Structure 1
Amino acid sequence: MVCWSLWNRRNNWVWNHANGSVFGVRNNASHLLIEWKEAQIKENDRRTRDEVGARVWKPPDAGWLKVNIDAAVFLNGNIGVGAVIRDENSCFVAARGKKIAGAWTAREAEAEAIGLKEALSWITDKGYKQCVIETDSSALAAACNGGQGEAFFGTIVMNCIQLLKHVNQVLVVFIYRSANTVAHRLAKAAYSMSDEGEWYVTPPQFLDHVLSLDMI
């Protein structure tokens, strides 16, 4: 900081013929050091907030809906998928859980892609717009946003990408599992469903506790 202040003093003399005192150089260096330290503190605070924000559920921006999705692969080969929609006020809007029966050998990543495809079809059929879809599969979110890895999911994620092209203002973003607990609980509960379940305005009782935790 002292060297930088001396450099500025030299330039000020060369170009403006203004000569600063030794005290002025030292004082300027001290102020620069204080400003730098304050900037580092603010940057660390920002990084901390961003990190926490990625790990806890937050409501969407005004006018948008947030759709949390998840999938589970059961030992018998069935897949459970869940999607939960909430609004900007953290209020429950709708939820859908579905068990897809069959001798599936899908990896967890493929199950996540199936869950996304089911959610996209559902919100399209219901006419929901301006939706942020959150998944705890970083590879799936990256693939849907033009990243590498489409082949990792087979043709399922390609179908999702095509669906995204035909719906307006629907985003797919990655969040940590800790911010996706409600969709995870619903996907697990799909195991005991005969086929599928849908809820509107009032959530199922087994989601009440998880939904309330997200509002804290």
Structure 2
Amino acid sequence: MSVFGVKSMVLNLLQEWNRMLKDKEVGHKIQPIGAVRKWSRPAEGWIKINTDAACKRGCDHIGIGCIVRNDMGSFVRARSSAVRGIFHPREAEAISLKEVLPWNKEWTNSKCIYETNSKFSVDAIYGTRGKSYFDTIMDDCVELFKHFEQVLVVFVPRSVNIVAHILAHVAYYESNLKELFINALEFIDCNLILEDY
């Protein structure tokens, strides 16, 4: 495992440990692994970026969605775009993360938590990678992570990734890249509320 992998895994475990302690202090039940969770704010000084990809059989492109929120849980920006090509779902999820990193790097190199509902991607980042196309994409992601102060990549269930999922599907109906700043569109606002409950 790389130095990045070890450091990121330790930071991820520390964040989960602190979250468990906080839940215990305020009397929340600790949810079993695999339980449906809701989106949670990152620690102070961090931003959280949720990413997702959408593949449709017979389409010549995949959709990618991303939403960024700050440590107050407030909307920062979002993105919906299409990437030409026919990809398997595992590759599409990896591409969604890779495509978001340069965009994110343009406006911050802060402490970032990337959440994805692709367990394959998270396992590949922290584990040993092979020589497949998927592994090459993940190698590129690990290289791009070096441009950030600190990075965590976390697997979350789809229920925590609703807005990114919707934005990925928007790419099938809007052929141009859409970037949203400051004010979220109404449908994003509604789904942000749903993710919080």
Normalized against structure 2, the TM-score is what?
0.78
Give per-residue Cα distances to partners, 1:136-187, cap 9 Å, x unaligned: 0011011112355673714211111111123221211111111111100100
Give per-residue Cα distances to partners, 1:93-118, cap 9 Å, x unaligned: 110111123xx231001000110011
CA RMSD of aligned residues (A): 2.3
CA distance in 2, matches of 1:54, 1:60: 18
- What pairs with 1:155-174 in structure 2 (closer than 5 Å)? 155-174=136-155
Partners of 1:55 and 1:177 within 8 A in 2: no
Q: Aligned to 1:65, which of 25, 40, 47?
A: 47
Match of residue 11 from structure 2: none
**Is 1:189 the counterpart of 2:163 in the alignment?**
no
- The amino acid that maps onto 1:61 is A
CA distance in 2, matches of 1:143, 1:161: 10
Change in CA separation of 1:52 and 1:137 when aligned onto 2, cut-off 3 Å: closer
**Is 1:134 the counterpart of 2:115 in the alignment?**
yes
Deviation at 1:47, TM superposition (A): 7.5
Give per-residue Cα distances to partners, 1:15-70, cap 9 Å, x unaligned: xxxxxxxxxxxxxxxxxxxxxxxxxxx8xx98833648862211101111110000
Match of residue 88 from structure 2: 107
Larger Rg: 1
Normalized against structure 1, the TM-score is what?
0.72
Higher relative contact order (CA 8 A, sep 6+): 2
- The amino acid that maps onto 2:39 is W
**Is 1:86 the counterpart of 2:73 in the alignment?**
no
Deviation at 1:129, TM superposition (A): 1.2
- What pairs with 1:199-214 in structure 2 (closer than 5 Å)? 199-214=180-195
Change in CA separation of 1:54 and 1:153 when aligned onto 2, cut-off 3 Å: farther
Structure 1, 171-180 or 72-81: larger mean CA deviation: 72-81
Unaligned runs of 5+ in 1: 1-41
Aligned residues: 171
CA distance in 1, matches of 2:131, 2:110: 25
Larger helix percent = 1
Partners of 2:109 and 2:148 within 8 A in 1: no
In percent, how many aligned pairs have the same letter?
Answer: 38
